[in-house]
Amino acid sequence: MKTHRLPVDLTDDQIEEFGAELDAIRDEVFDSRGDRDRAYILKVIKTQRIMAVTGRIIIYGALFFLPAWGHPLASWGVFLSVIGFGTFMLGIAKILENMEVAHNVLHAQWDWMKDPEIQSNTWEWDTMSPSDRWMHSHNVVHHTWTNVIEKDLDVGYGIMRVTPLQPWKPAFLLQPIYFILLMLLFEEGVALHEQGIDDHLKGKKTLAELKPLLKRIGYKVWRQVAKDYIAWPLAAALVAIPISFYVPFSPLMVFALVAGANAIASVMRNIWAFIIIFCGHFPAGAHSFTEEQVDGETRARWYLRQMLGSCNIEGSKLFHVLSGNLSHQIEHHLFPDMCSNRYKEVAPRVRALAARYGVPYNSASLTRQFGTTWLNNLRLAFPGGGIPGTVS
């Protein structure tokens, strides 16, 4: 089959050599997996769970022990500070669980440990999307067809134009609004980001054919809603009933405050996940591809496409952990089942390899990556191509 050229000045033999060198990096890391990797993921999981429990304890403590803090006027300042800190800690715990733990566990990065508690086929993450459905749409579809128009549903998520290769439609005029809404409701958006739903909207599937999938998603959505907005708030409200003479809030107010704290923590997670993921795929310089360009694609050309369509975000060690190491999006797209703590280790080698072969390596600050992503979103809402350096 004919393979259309990618935007690099390399011969077919050079591309294959490039791919072989990446294979060698991957094999070397996979052969060296061991105790330090195991210790890393166990430490992250333990830290995340401690933060989640501690955050909730602080929130409940602020609600139930407010009167013991002295003067009522001073107490309100303390109350807001403490409940805010507890909510922030819970939000960070949700970010860690979503980004560095669950996302990477579901990529089978830790299956080699043979730990029955940390396996991709049994892990269920703390979000509305069922793990098995996400693994199909993300691991199988997105990582196979990264940035290929009409193949990868993540190209604009079905509601936005992120590359001039997408034909313009009047609906895209509203995409700056979609951008903000998806950022705030990213958890819900991911749950509905399904090939089956897209097929139904395009008339390829009947509603009857779609019902089992909707039922599966609905069950997981209900579990999340019940946990964060019924069970945890109700537990706090029930505790407030017998001590209502002591607690300055009615049980109903306690219920609402806990549910609100959970909602804020979830929105924190949504905004952060959205920013990191969009900065890995849609900043200036990221490429998109046609189906013709990937026809007859070899593994080496697949590697090359991953590099051209991915972007890294520069930051501190803590930043990388909180991003789920998706700040190393290039390395993640090259090696999606590599332990996430190894991406920082292989990134300099991948970058040097790219420089040697003249392959672009898109790495910049969070400000630059998100800024150009937002500018592209605004520009591509209107007819025409992108500005110089935008996704293509």
Task: Give pTM, 2 decimals.
Answer: 0.92
pLDDT at 204: 73
pLDDT at 2: 38
Cβ neighbors of 16 (< 8 A, separation 6 or more) are 298, 300
pLDDT at 298: 95
Mean pLDDT per block of 10 residues along the chain (392 residues) reads: 63 95 98 97 98 94 65 63 93 98 98 96 94 92 94 90 93 96 94 76 76 90 95 91 72 91 97 97 94 92 96 97 97 98 98 96 97 95 67 54
pLDDT at 331: 98
Supply the DSSP symbol for 289: B
Residue where the block lists tokens 């500018």:
375
Cβ neighbors of 378 (< 8 A, separation 6 or more) are 176
CA–CA gap between residue 163 and residue 142 (Å, rounded): 16
pLDDT at 3: 42
Helix (H, G, I), strand (E, B) or coil at 315: coil
DSSP states of 319-365? HHHHTTTGGGHHHHHH-TTS-GGGHHHHHHHHHHHHHHHT----EEE
Residue where the block lists tokens 């892990």:
123
pLDDT at 75: 65
Supply the DSSP symbol for 296: T
pLDDT at 247: 63
